[in-house]
Amino acid sequence: MTLIPRLWAEMNEWFEQDLMPRGIRLEDRITDTEYTVRAELPGLDPDKDIQLTVAHGMLTIRAERKEQTQTTYRTEFRYGVFERSVRLPANADESKIKANYRNGILEITVPLTPVETARRIAITSK
């Protein structure tokens, strides 16, 4: 990886981790064959409250927690719409993304296609 893209990726990660407010907490991991994103979304119905989209190399998780009509003395729950986007690796196969929701965790698996290695190009002289 060249210096400029690496610096950009590190700066972007720093901004995401330390400065950007987050409504959805994530963890991710990458292997040679897949990229996995896990999102904490407790107490939501995946059929009604969670929407997952992918476009132009960006995976977006959108969730909504509706406020209960009961009166409470105090709440630390966060209500409303929460959204978080992550850039997918360049070799992500967007057509084969799968998602599973269990015990308040949304797990998204993105298959990766093999990365082409650089090849040498023959140079001819005129």
Q: Indicate which CATH number applies to the domain containing 53.
A: 2.60.40.790
Instruction: Please give the model's pTM, rounded to 2 decimal places.
Output: 0.70
Helix/strand/coil (H/E/C) assignment for every residue in the chain:
CCHHHHHHHHHHHHHHHHCCCCCCCEEEEECCCEEEEEEECCCCCCCCCEEEEEECCEEEEEEEECCCCCCCCCCCCCCEEEEEEEECCCCECHHHCEEEEECCEEEEEEEECCCCCCCCCCCCCC
Model confidence at 20: pLDDT above 80:
no
CA gap 93, 115 in Å, rounded: 12
The number of domains in the chain is 1
| Average of per-residue pLDDT across 48-54 | 96
* Least confident interval from 22-26, 38-42, 90-94, 121-125: 22-26
Give the pLDDT of residue 72.
65
Most confident stretch, 47-56, 73-82, 114-123: 47-56
Question: Percentage of residues in the chain with pLDDT exceeding 90?
Answer: 58
For the segment 59-70, what is each residue's pLDDT rounded down to a tens digit?
999 999 887 766
Per-residue pLDDT at 6: 67
Residue 65 located in a structural domain: yes
Q: What would you report as the CA-atom Rg of the chain, rounded to the nearest whole angstrom?
A: 19
The answer to whether position 38 is within a domain reads yes
Looking at residue 10, what is its pLDDT? 67
The boundaries of the domain holding residue 97 are 24-111
